[in-house]
Structure 1
Amino acid sequence: MLDTKTRDVIKATIPVLETHGEQITKRFYEMLFDAHPELLNIFNHSNQREGRQQTALANAVYAAAVHIDNLESILPAVKQISHKHRGLGIQPEHYPIVGQFLLRAIKDVLGDAATDEIIQAWADAYGAIASAFIGVEQEMYEEAGQQPGGWTDFRPFVVSRKVRESDVITSFYLTPKDGEAISSYRPGQYLTLKVSVPGQAYTQMRQYSLSDTPGKPYYRISVKREDARENAPAGLVSNYLHNDVQEGDTLLASAPSGDFMLVIDTERPVVFLSGGVGMTPLMSMVSTLLQRRPKHHVTYVHAALHGGVHAFKSTLEGLADEYENTSYYAVYERPSHEDKAYRHFAKEGFVDADWLRSIAPLDAEFYFCGPVSFMKAVYRILKGLGVDDAQIHYEFFGPQGSLA
């Protein structure tokens, strides 16, 4: 429990964090990796390069300061981050190292403005927050290890099948190398892969949504090949998986994790909206929901550049044909002549409010995932249509961002 004086000092730093937060976190990572390069085996280098990790940490530090009088209110955010930490294998001994360099970065950026009193207050606050993370993550490790087929570290899996789903998405079916059982998962969760790419000094960690229904003797992940684009190089791990990993090869994975999970027992209709590879967690969700509740009212909308990059067409077609209360629509930004003849093609361009209102019930539970620009557009549409936040569920691929 933090005393009143400490909380007051933390609250007084809120304007500074609002202005200098990302500068502090950028400096933090520079200092951390310079002193502990072995931690580069854990952190996603792409998120570092694009600044997403620095922004996410700055937002987390700012939120902690804003809610310092009631740290319990940030517990949902702690749990969300802890899911990622458990998947990555973060351990209690990492927290003192992070705390040490976070305080150094605050001092380095703020200079004399970071008085001994401020540094001590943040040291106390960090200790309380780190303790919360460690406690939550310990429970998650125990849960992952104790459930049937579970494990707590990284486990070897054989690529039993490699299936091309579209021009840019390939599925990998992962079977445990030891032949033993594997733990189940909730639709929407992900696997963390630990990959050693030839020529790279450090291992690469990536988290990929599970795209099949749970309860099978394998896991399936479906990976988009990230090609080079303006201001961004080609995806290191996605291209390695697509080009080099073959059936029979072995990959290391931690147990399924994540807090983006389908609520199976809702009485509301359910609407799924996916953009690009954001369909991967939603494929697990929609298939599971209809298997367990075949009469449920379901609407699925997938947005893509064109039909060539639209994965799982046949699966969605089959669901719409089999279940009478299920509707499926394809929205293509730049459809070909062939795309326009596709029987589920519904709209050229983008999802918009008037069209969504015409095909989906607004009293539904809405699940969506995709590129950040797509997610921001969907969130803006839903709020404009008066959909309550309690009905809105989404997942960021990578560090948590903001859709507001």
Structure 2
Amino acid sequence: MVVGIGADGWRGLGDTARDELRNARVIYGAARQLALLDEVAAELAGELVCWRSPMSEHLAEVLASVPDPAGVTDTVHILASGDPMFHGVGASIVARVGADRVRVYPAVSSVSLACARLGWDLSTTRIVSAVTADPEIVLTEATDGARVLVLSRDRTTPAAVATILSDNGFGDSTLTVLEQLGGPAERVYSGTAGTWPHSDGDPLNIVAVDCIGPRVSRAPGRPDDSYEHDGQITKSTIRALTVSALEPAGPQLLWDIGAGSGSVSIEWLRTDGRGRAVAFERDRVRAERLSANARRHGVAHRLDVRGPAPESLAGALADAGAPDAVFIGGGLDDGLLTTAWEALRAGGRIVVNAVTVENQAILIRRREELGGSLRRFVVEALSPLGTMSTWRPALPIIQWAATKPTGTPPRTPTPEEDVS
């Protein structure tokens, strides 16, 4: 039994939720949540147990101790903040034991309360969580005219969000911090990101951002200068074509092999907020730069940076499962392509870009063996020619894109292929 409770405590609970807590044998919760029951402690028959740190391990122990549901009458009661199914513990519990064994009594969520206070339309408001991600996640939704709610990790989040927005062209945006929503200590205050005057506040808060700044699209093909790189970067036009060919959709996993600056995997992640990516990069300096680029674009929490391929592929496969998509932008050879194709999930997409004649020959052979499409891209840019201008072509790119037939199981790379 998972009971959501707001900052208004016992008074905000419905009769059914109150009855559940009154009759519970044990109630688990965070110290702040359990403190909301102090006023009615005499009415509660059970023991109040505060989560140990780390909470995830303690929760796993509690769930593991729950016996088989057949004939069970003793129910585990867990107290949660607001709506337990909205960035809360409820979803984790359901994933662990199944929806048929969990009953949830939600309170009003913090985002519903925030929109009610602000007069914002919740259906058009974008929501990001800095609880499990870096505050830079606000940049995945920041664009001129957008309204964004940031779920804060602690009292430092508002100032961090203000600095990030200011550093990325959104200094004129209005920030509103809503603390202890719905409770007797509720407090709301506003300011401008570029001149944010508040350095501290209540740890229980949510940040509302009314964005004023550049227009930033989720579509792939961001300017090259939005990434730090040493020249090893898939250029903007080719990147847009590449990410589109990879067909990002839903909670998929991408392998970005020879990732360089990470621009392809970053834009894959920006296209759909449910995706994950593993980037393989041999050069440590580039790997560090890649991680910095991911943080700058607000997707670092969904990107796992690994060592070189093919040496690191087996470890990634064991840890994260078979990829739904694979992009190879560097270090191509027949063996790497074979390993990546065999690891790819059935129905998954593979996209490979090649510049050299030797690598292009590999793609021509693989297209004959495995099917798919083969395209040649030539991009020309306007450049000066004396006192006038002319079109100068970049090196042509050959791109092979294919979908792995369903019914083809992925192959696990051998231990010899995993020396990372």
Same fold at TM > 0.5: no
Based on CA coordinates, which of the two structures has the bigger radius of gyration?
2
Higher helix share: 1
TM-score, normalized by length of structure 1?
A: 0.32
**Structure with higher RCO (Cα < 8 A, 6+ apart):** 1
